[in-house]
Amino acid sequence: MTTKYFYIINHYVPFPSSEYGGLWNVVAESDDECFDLIAENDNGYNQEYYPILRENIMKCQCFELNGTHKSSIIEQFTT
């Protein structure tokens, strides 16, 4: 069984894409998979902020999960 983690990522993207920021809740096997899931959802729209996103993933709250979980974005709140 592969270990999965629950990520809670606070990621700010400045105006005009966003004025306030966002919060992403993601289940993933690794920081890289977490980044890939968010970037895929973003469709490359905010690529210039991807280096900051990687930093935010590395320093976010992350919890190991028990059981079997599918890697996915659970919830996103972006403004």
Structure confidence by residue, pLDDT tens digits, 4-28: 999 999 887 666 666 556 889 999 9
Percent of the chain with pLDDT over 90: 57
Alpha carbon distance 71, 52 (integer Å):
22
pLDDT at position 79 is: 65
Number of folded domains that form the chain: 1
Q: Return mean pLDDT, the chain.
A: 87
Mean pLDDT of 61-69: 94
Residues in the chain: 79
Q: Where in the sequence is the domain holding 32, given as residue range(s)?
A: 5-78
Taking Cα atoms as reference points, which of 65, 75, 69, 59 lies closest to residue 25? 75
Residue keyed to tokens 């990621």: 11
Query: Long-range contacts for 66-71 (Cβ within 8 Å, ≥24 apart)?
Result: 68/1, 69/4, 69/27, 70/27, 71/4, 71/27, 71/28, 71/29, 71/33, 71/37
* 76 — pLDDT class (breaks 50, 70, 90): confident
Question: What pTM value is reported for the model?
Answer: 0.86
